[in-house]
């Protein structure tokens, strides 16, 4: 039986890093798993969840909330455990946590190379909105542990 729990750096860090490297295959420094985890933990908002099974961490989701909108990030399910409903459980768990904080709208982004996952989110009630997503990397804050810049 799967359990969704709050992320624990002492218990889950290495498994989450391995999962994200398997699922996402990062190519840019600002998405490096260890940095993303450290930045999330610094916020201390209790919106980082892991799905656990006997063999360990098999899924993740991070939420974010700024008092206006909620966001979902890093929804990941190990390839060996896909199509079991786990991704939907993770999303709903994060949604419930955001709703409990007063969130009125939840957003997420899908990279264009992974557009096929849109059907998964549409089945959960999300829709493609007419928006342009823009981003700006703040290189000064993308400092890797152990690397002097």
| Confidence band, pLDDT 50/70/90 cuts, at residue 140 | confident
CA angle 25, 26, 32 (to 5 degrees): 130
Residue 46 has pLDDT above 70, yes or no: yes
* Extents of the domains making up the chain: 3-138
For 3-138, give the CATH class: alpha beta
What element of type H or E holds 89? Answer: helix 86-100
Please tell me whether the overall predicted TM-score, pTM, comes out greater than 0.85 for this model: yes
Please name which of 145, 128, 149, 147 lies closest in space to residue 33, comparing C-alpha atoms.
145
Average pLDDT rounded to a whole number, residues 117-129: 91
Residue 28: pLDDT over 70: no
**Residue-wise burial string across 19-44, b where 16 or more C-beta atoms lie within 10 A, e elsewhere:** bbeebeeeeeeeebbebbbeebeeee
Nearest CA-CA partner of 94 in 123, 120, 70:
70
């Amino acid at each position: 039986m799967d359990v969704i729990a709050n992320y624990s750096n002492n218990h889950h860090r290495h498994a989450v890093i391995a999962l994200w490297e398997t699922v996402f295959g990062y190519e840019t420094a600002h998405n490096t798993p260890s940095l993303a985890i450290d930045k999330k933990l610094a916020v201390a908002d209790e919106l980082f969840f892991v799905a656990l099974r006997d063999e360990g961490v098999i899924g993740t989701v991070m939420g974010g909330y700024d008092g206006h909108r909620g966001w979902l990030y890093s929804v990941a399910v190990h390839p060996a455990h896909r199509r079991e409903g786990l991704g939907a459980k993770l999303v709903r768990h994060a949604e419930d946590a955001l709703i409990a904080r007063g969130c009125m709208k939840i957003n997420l982004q899908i990279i264009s190379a992974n557009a096929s996952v849109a059907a998964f989110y549409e089945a959960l009630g999300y829709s493609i909105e007419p928006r342009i997503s823009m981003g700006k990397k703040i290189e000064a804050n993308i400092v890797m542990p152990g690397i002097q810049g």
